[in-house]
Amino acid sequence: MGTVHGRVGGAIGGYDLQAQVASNNISGRIGGAMFGMDIDLNYSLTAGFIKGRIGGLLWGQDVQGQVSPTGLQVRVGGIVAGNDITITVAANNISGRCGGDVIGFDLDLKLDGVHATGRLGGPMIGMSVDGFVEDTLPVIAGFLFAVTYYIYRLNHRNRGSSSHSRN
């Protein structure tokens, strides 16, 4: 069984990732004990699919798509309120995109042995990745880090809005 764990973002802003990766199942948690989401995914490299849920029964995101050892195309969320995640793996580099050309973020990660580092988003707006990947394909690890940042953005998209002032 493999593991993917680490931090997306800094000590104050960001989410932890803790995942156990078996030959056909991924389980774990994004975020903390109180503010976070469970990971419950099934996948098959032979059949080329990945599907399941991030979150709970009432509040969460469906996951469905295709996966291979060198790439992944997944829809997280529904048809209207969701995003596509596309990942390509070349050697120790994991790259891709979540969302569209205008609204979304880039994925640029590197694996050095078991240490995963890189950036989700751009150089100014985005978050750094500092994690560990053991006995897990880079494409799966990259997806887990990307979906962690996606869930963080989803959960924080309306914070700080002036329409919610308490004057």
- CATH number at 80 reads 2.40.128
Q: Which residues of 43-66 are buried (b: 16+ CB within 10 A; e: fewer)?
A: beeeeeebebbbbeeeebbebebe
Per-residue pLDDT of the chain (167 residues; tens, 9 = 90+): 999 999 999 878 889 999 999 999 999 999 887 778 999 999 999 999 999 999 977 788 999 999 999 999 999 988 787 889 999 999 999 999 988 777 888 899 999 989 999 999 887 788 999 999 999 999 999 999 999 998 888 887 755 544 433 33
What is the domain count for the chain?
1
Task: Please indicate, yes or no, if residue 153 is contained in any of the structural domains.
Answer: yes
Range of the domain at 60: 2-159
Model confidence, pTM: 0.90
Task: Please indicate, yes or no, if residue 113 is contained in any of the structural domains.
Answer: yes
Half-sphere exposure of 126 (CA within 13 A, CB side): 20
Task: Please indicate, yes or no, if residue 167 is contained in any of the structural domains.
Answer: no
Task: Please indicate, yes or no, if residue 165 is contained in any of the structural domains.
Answer: no
